[in-house]
Every structure is written in C-alpha cells, then in structure tokens.
Amino acid sequence: MKQRKLEQATKGVFALSTVVTGSLVVLIFFFLFYFSMPLITSGHLGEFFSSRWDPDAHAFGIYPMIMGTVYIAMLATLLAAPLGISLAIFMEVIAPPLLSRFLRTLVEFMAGIPTVVYGFAALFLLVPLVRNIFEQGSGLCILTALLVLALLIIPTVTMISQDRLKNVPETYILAAKSLGASDVETLFYLYLPHTWKGILSAVVLGAGRAVGDTMIALMVAGNAVQIPSSLIDSARTLTSHIALVTAADYESKSFKAIFICGLILFIFSAWNILFLRILGRLKR
C-alpha cells in the first residue's frame, strides 16, 4: 500500500514538473508576443526590418542584427560541424579505448568552460592575431567571432554525435568485421547510414547554441550596426543587441524593438525543436 502511494506521489511530482516547465515556455512566448504586439499592429512593422538603426533619428531597423546573426552562426556551424563529427568518429571508431576516454574527458571539459572565458581569451590572443594578419580593422569582426563560436559548439556536436555512434549494435559491427570490412568501410556502410539522422540532430543543436550565444558576439564581433560584406567586418547579433539595448528607457521604441528580436530568436528555437521532432519520427 505504501509502495503504491509512493509510486503515485512520484508520478504526480513528475507530472507537475512537466506542467510547470511547459507552462513557463508558453508564458515566455506570450510575454514576448504581448510586448511585440504594439509594434506588430502599429502598421510600421516594416520599419523594424529596415537596415537602419539610429534611435536619435527614430530609425529602429534590426535587419543588420538578423544578418549578423545568420552570418556568424551559419559560418561557425559550417566550421564546427565537420570538425566535431570527425572528432566523434575518431573517438568512437578509430582511436584506442584509452585515447578515446582521454579525448572524451577533454571534450567534456571544453563544454564546461564558461563562455566568457572563451571570449576573454580571444580578446587577448585571437583578436590581435586577426588584426595583424589582415592589417586592417580592429580584429573585432565576424571572423574572430565565428572561430571562437565554432570552438564553443564543437563539444556539443562531438558528444552528441559520439553518443549516436555508440547506438550502432555491437552485433552489426562484429558481423561487418567478420566479413573483412575495414574501419573505413564499416564507417561508410554501417555507422553513417545508421546514425546520420542523429548526427544531423547534433549539428542542429550546435547551430541553436551558436544563434543563442551572447557573450562571444558581444565581446569579439565588434557590435557595429551594419550589414557585413566580408569576414573582417564588425557585426552585431540579435542576442548582443538585446544585451546592449536593455539599458534603454522602458518606454522607448529602441527598448520595445528588442522584443521583436526576442520573438525571432524564440521562433528559431521552436523551429529547431520541430525539426528535431520530425527527425525523431523519421528514425522510426
């Protein structure tokens, strides 16, 4: 009898936690949507997607921040994905067990380093290097930000990809080796066909982290409000824009515009979750 009550209480706690968590997500969406409504219904929504941000001239375009986010996050993901996947494959398929465990520990340690430490190190190491190589600009640019951001998301891609590779049944691996398949053949004809959807999920999650990161872009991207035309141009992302504008007057249009930025980021996160759900259904 006591065990049954304990089981019911445990289920109740889990159900309550699920309801609370789901409610918080819904509340965040409605919070962003509510404060964005005056701008959406004002008939001047288009001006917030223009390319000019100048609060003194009553211009509140966030298009440069959207493009800065796309450039930095997309390029960082394109750089981190092959590196992270390759490292996961090496750790799981090729490396000896001792080396694999060491690398896994190192990757987990990298994942636990605070973002601000990456940014602080980049300010003193990478920024001067980029400035000296290109001999123009301050070194606070898209290239610097995407390199540091790629380093930040490699552990995410690596660990999730390796976990997916571990899901390949041992019997399949033994059968492939008993037929004389090499490590490369086993990789391309067994591991990757069996796990590519999970690896793609790792890349999507890494991209989500790249879009949502604030400190790296805030510290090393330069925060210039412009549509970048090269890798050594400074840029501002949506997250760093929100961080910089929160000190503005609550009633100002510049402050209200950041709710549009937050809503865009929320929609992107929702799209990521939907994409992962679709992938999950395809796996079945």
Task: Quick: pLDDT tens for 163-221.
Answer: 999 988 888 888 888 888 887 888 888 888 888 888 988 999 899 889 988 889 889 99
Neighbours of 169 (CB within 10 A): 10
Helices (H), the chain: 2-40, 63-89, 97-112, 115-134, 142-166, 170-178, 183-186, 192-212, 215-220, 238-245, 253-283
4 pLDDT more than 80:
no
Q: What angle do CA 24, 60, 241 make, to 5 degrees?
A: 50
CATH number 1.10.3720.10 given to 50-283: yes
Residue type, 9: A
- The answer to whether 49 touches 62, Cβ cutoff 8 Å, is yes
79 pLDDT more than 90:
yes
Task: Quick: pLDDT tens for 215-250.
Answer: 898 899 988 888 888 889 999 999 998 888 886 666
For residues 140-155, give the mean pLDDT. 93
260 pLDDT more than 70:
yes
Instruction: Using a pLDDT cut of 70, give the percent of the chain over it.
Output: 94
Residue 49 has a pLDDT of 81
- Which of these, 152, 264, 158, lies nearest to 216 by C-alpha position? 152
How many angstroms separate the CA atoms of 147 and 142, rounded?
A: 8
Q: pTM of this prediction? A: 0.86
Distances from the Cα of 162 to the Cαs of 84, 104, 106, 153, 187, in angstroms? 9, 9, 14, 14, 13
39 pLDDT more than 80:
no
Q: Provide the mean pLDDT of the chain.
A: 86
Residue 154 has a pLDDT of 95
155 pLDDT more than 90:
yes
Residue 143 has a pLDDT of 93
10 pLDDT more than 90:
no
